[in-house]
Amino acid sequence: MSIKVHGYAMSTCTARVLLCLSEKGLEYEVVPVDVANGAHKQQPYLSLNPFGQIPAFEDGDVKIFESRAISKYLARKYKDTGIDLLGSSSLTVSTIVDTWMEVESHQFNSPMQAIIRQMIVNPIFGIATDEKIIETELEKLGKVLDVYEERLSKCKYLGGDFYSLADLHHIPYLVYFMRTPKSSVITSRPHVSAWWNDISSRPATVKVAETMKV
């Protein structure tokens, strides 16, 4: 087996890669990283990911880090395996997918990351939850999702009428977010809610989400 993902499914960035592998139906091995003992901040792990973060990825001789770069690599290398995740039919179509991948990175990720840290990560480590941060970030997230609601009223998925990395990249944080008491931020927006119901019920999503236990 040549594809190795160094990480653990609980990590949202690892899950992003696993979702892509599962959509493509590729065989892979998850190599656990002993984060509790700081293995990710030491060699040999740092040679796989110099930022000491999870995950790192190997496909034979190709070694990559940054989850979204890994998913793009997989979508390009295995374009004809399983569904196309890049909107490769034309430059215009793939640019729309690119645009919504950038939206995930630069509009959605920051408030969502802050909320998940406060509501899910902090309690694990016995750190107090800051309600003020949650409130502020939920307000930012709501404004972002208002734009998603409008977008998803016009097409079924963010990149167009087909599932793509633009949708997939959102899934890991949403899996956790939908387990919080704030999930109505999603369900109260009809088109966002329908989109989430659709992408969360994909077999690849169900398979990976089941392994995302905190």
**Closer to its own copies at the Cβ: 65 or 195?**
65
- DSSP 8-state code for residue 98: H
Cα dihedral: 52, 31, 13, 1 (round 10): 120
Q: How far is CA 41 from the centre of its chain?
A: 23
Q: Answer yes or no whether residue 99 interacts with its own copies by CB under 8 A.
A: yes
> Tokens in use for 2?
């040549």
Binding track, positions 13-32, relative to its own copies; x by CB under 8 A: --------------------
Q: Answer yes or no whether residue 98 interacts with its own copies by CB under 8 A.
A: yes
Stretch that binds its own copies, among 80-88, 96-104, 156-164, 200-208 (CB under 8 A): 96-104
Q: How far is CA 27 from the centre of its chain?
A: 19
Stretch that binds its own copies, among 3-11, 33-41, 66-74, 176-184 (CB under 8 A): 66-74
Q: Answer yes or no whether residue 65 interacts with its own copies by CB under 8 A.
A: yes
CB of 67 to its own copies, least distance (A): 8
Q: Which of 94, 29, 87 is nearest to 55 (CA)?
A: 29
CB of 100 to its own copies, least distance (A): 8
The edge-to-edge listing of strands for the beta sheet with 29-31 is 29-31, 3-6, 56-59, 62-65
**Closer to its own copies at the Cβ: 147 or 206?**
147
